[in-house]
Structure 1
Amino acid sequence: MAKFEVGVIGLGKFGFYLAKSLVNLGHNVVGLDNKSDRIKRAQDILTQVYEADATDKGALSQLGFADLNHVIISVGHSMEASILIALYLKELGAKDIWCKAISDEHEKVLLKIGVDHVIFPERFAAEQLARSLVVPGLIDYLPMGKGVLLKEIIVSSKWEGKTLRELDLTNQYGVQAIAIKTQEKGEYTFVPKADQKLKKGDILAIVGKEESFKELSP
């Protein structure tokens, strides 16, 4: 996986944990906030941390945020501040800007000024939780199109001894097995072989449209 230089502006709960996750994935993260307690919490975790006012265009320029691969703006509930920061980053030539929004109107303004990606963390988390509650085995609800799911299917006696080639899931149900977890290994192996025989209790990670899973019975 390529290593990125990522800037996170606003180190509140969302910004801090996002930045920490990016570091854990091996990327360099530059954090920026105007509150000393947040800087103190992040300084031993992130690659670099600066205490400054992100609505100061000169500070953004001096700290080199426009030169990073990605910049995420997460400044809490201040619509005005996030819009101003995004505008300055665009003027400075930032390559890829992500910004947390708090309303549909906020999103419209951000897109108008050229923000590349708008994030609604609470909305996304709520949708994921709702899907997990009502769809057993759901791993993820993917933003690849309407109703696309990534779901775990446990192999029962009906599929035991058969291969993925014999099951022909793509043509029969319109879904695709992308990984398998056997009881022997206990972890996923991706891109399973078409001629691998399935055993009862094996777990398949399958991607497809939500309606396709209604016909699927392992």
Structure 2
Amino acid sequence: MANKIEVGVVGLGKFGQAFARAFQEKGHTVVGVDRSESNVRRVQSYLYQTFQADGTDKGALEQVGFKELDQVVVSTGKSMEASILVVLNLQELGVKKIWVKAVSEEHEKVLKRLGVHFVVFPERFVAQQIAHRMAVPGLLDYLGLGEDVVVREVEVDQWQGKSLRQLDLTNRFNVQVVAFRAKEQEGLSFVPRADVVLTRGDTLVILGKGDDVLELADS
């Protein structure tokens, strides 16, 4: 496992709780803060540390140790003002990486002007994933990397008998083959060798910008 990471979460509503649980289940450490006693109570059984405190109060964040954290996720519900105040407090405390759940495009603009490292729209991201998966057969995932990045399965037909080196998909189509599954194989082989020779019915898992991946055909 990679080095254990300690992350703070300000705001333990639905998104904050879901992130905190998922992150801690991956073997890392989460310190949660929320002004609501009931929200704190819901997560204190499985988080490393939880505090009932107001994230808009810099002194409170400092007191519970957020000054020592490198990364913090801010999820303060629908209050843009509270979110911005929390961000300013974290910046003054010297937090290096700040992730913020945005509630509107205006909120996003302000956060970017403040120099926030990562702005997240969970609802928009999920909606885009569903739309892409329903519209495009073989689409495995939509990655919100700011560049419309997708992952798609392509079944081999006309490419049979050729190696990945001969296909040269990276240079020809600006995509990357990240995994391979032979026709009779159950699991995927990741980062396949360039000398792998394809047969009809094999599957390639390809990553790239949406337009490049979606227009790619076995031809």
SS at match of 2:45: coil
2:187 corresponding residue in structure 1:
187
1:120 corresponding residue in structure 2:
121
SS at match of 2:76: coil
Alpha carbons of structure 1 residues 185 and 68: separation in structure 2 relative to 1, 3 Å: farther
Matching residue's letter, 1:151: R
1:91 corresponding residue in structure 2:
92
Q: In percent, how many aligned pairs have the same letter? A: 50
SS at match of 2:127: helix
Q: Which moved more, 1:14-23 or 1:187-196?
A: 187-196
| Whole-angstrom distance in 2 between the partners of 1:33 and 1:16 | 10
Tell me, yes or no, if the aligned pair for 2:170 and 2:176 is still in contact at 8 Å. Answer: yes
Tell me, yes or no, if the aligned pair for 1:31 and 1:50 is still in contact at 8 Å. Answer: yes
| Whole-angstrom distance in 2 between the partners of 1:35 and 1:168 | 55
Please, which runs of 5 or more residues in structure 1 have no aligned partner?
none
Q: Which moved more, 1:38-47 or 1:78-87?
A: 38-47
Tell me, yes or no, if the aligned pair for 1:137 and 1:151 is still in contact at 8 Å. Answer: yes
1:76 corresponding residue in structure 2:
77
| Whole-angstrom distance in 2 between the partners of 1:5 and 1:182 | 40
1:42 corresponding residue in structure 2:
43
Say whether 1:209 aligns with 2:209: yes
| Whole-angstrom distance in 1 between the partners of 2:195 and 2:128 | 36
SS at match of 1:123: helix
Compute the displacement of 1:76 (Å).
Answer: 0.5
- String of CA shifts for 1:12-33, please: whole Å, max 9, x gaps: 1111111111112221111111
| Whole-angstrom distance in 2 between the partners of 1:198 and 1:41 | 51
1:170 corresponding residue in structure 2:
170
Alpha carbons of structure 1 residues 169 and 82: separation in structure 2 relative to 1, 3 Å: same
The two structures, once aligned, show a CA RMSD in angstroms of: 2.2
Say whether 1:56 aligns with 2:57: yes
- Tell me the TM-score normalised to structure 1 length: 0.88
| Whole-angstrom distance in 1 between the partners of 2:55 and 2:17 | 16
| Whole-angstrom distance in 2 between the partners of 1:10 and 1:144 | 24
Tell me, yes or no, if the aligned pair for 1:177 and 1:207 is still in contact at 8 Å. Answer: yes
Please, which runs of 5 or more residues in structure 2 have no aligned partner?
none
SS at match of 1:205: strand
- String of CA shifts for 1:108-140, please: whole Å, max 9, x gaps: 222333322222111122122212221222223
Count of residue pairs the alignment pairs up: 217
1:24 corresponding residue in structure 2:
25
Alpha carbons of structure 1 residues 94 and 207: separation in structure 2 relative to 1, 3 Å: same
Q: Which moved more, 1:16-25 or 1:105-114?
A: 105-114
Alpha carbons of structure 1 residues 46 and 187: separation in structure 2 relative to 1, 3 Å: farther
| Whole-angstrom distance in 1 between the partners of 2:131 and 2:119 | 21
